[in-house]
């Protein structure tokens, strides 16, 4: 059975592909595809995954740092949302998003997940995977269709 790490890693890859596409075509539509994939990912981690890690005091610093990175990604994303795709700093802002996301993904995959694997059982990691998938599904159903 899939664990939460399998699912999050697969989504990291999808987000990265979508960002590459957005950098290639520079369209707002492509940015919205990035956002539609990124928003539930960040929220799902914050609701279902990070809180379990925060219970372990030895991981609190790592998790606090991950929250800060989420906030940075959300703030760049909301700037992009209010920008015109044709504006002069669009390209550099998308690049900023790419760098911020890549950095965070690397930290999760090389630091957060290995530490999480030490404190969460395999059973738990599968259980959160199911909760995450349910959350992700309901999140998508609640979203208004993208412009
Ligand atoms: Fe992630
Ligand atoms: Fe994250």
53 Cα: distance to centroid of ligand 2 (angstroms) = 12
> pLDDT (tens digit, 9 = 90+) per residue, 71-105?
999 999 999 999 999 899 999 999 999 999 999 99
The verdict on residue 147 lying in a domain is no
> pLDDT (tens digit, 9 = 90+) per residue, 1-38?
899 999 999 999 999 999 999 999 999 999 999 999 99
Q: What is the secondary structure of 31-90 as a DSSP string?
A: HHHHHHHHHHHHHHIIIIIHHHHHTSGGGHHHHHHHHHHHHHHHHHHHHHHTS-TTSTTH
Number of structural domains (the chain) is 1
- Residue 147 above 70 pLDDT? no
Domain enclosing residue 59, as ranges: 4-141
Terminal-to-terminal C-alpha distance of the chain: 36
> pLDDT (tens digit, 9 = 90+) per residue, 41-65?
999 999 999 999 999 999 999 999 9
| CATH code for the domain of 121 | 1.20.120.520
41 Cα: distance to centroid of ligand 1 (angstroms) = 6
123 Cα: distance to centroid of ligand 2 (angstroms) = 21
- Residue 146 above 90 pLDDT? no
The verdict on residue 45 lying in a domain is yes
The verdict on residue 92 lying in a domain is yes
What six digits make up the tokens of 136? 């992700």
């Amino acid at each position: 059975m899939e664990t939460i790490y399998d699912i999050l890693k697969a989504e990291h890859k999808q987000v990265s592909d979508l960002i590459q596409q957005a950098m290639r075509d520079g369209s707002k539509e492509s940015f919205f595809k990035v956002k539609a994939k990124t928003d539930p990912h960040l929220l799902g981690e914050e609701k279902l995954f990070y809180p379990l890690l925060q219970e372990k005091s030895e991981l609190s610093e790592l998790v606090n740092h991950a929250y800060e990175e989420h906030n940075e990604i959300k703030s760049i994303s909301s700037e992009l949302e209010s920008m015109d795709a044709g504006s002069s700093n669009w390209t550099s802002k998308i690049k900023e998003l790419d760098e911020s996301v890549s950095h965070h993904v690397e930290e999760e995959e090389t630091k957060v997940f290995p530490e999480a694997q030490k404190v969460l059982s395999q059973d738990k990691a599968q259980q959160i995977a199911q909760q995450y998938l349910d959350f992700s599904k309901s999140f998508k159903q609640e979203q208004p269709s993208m412009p």
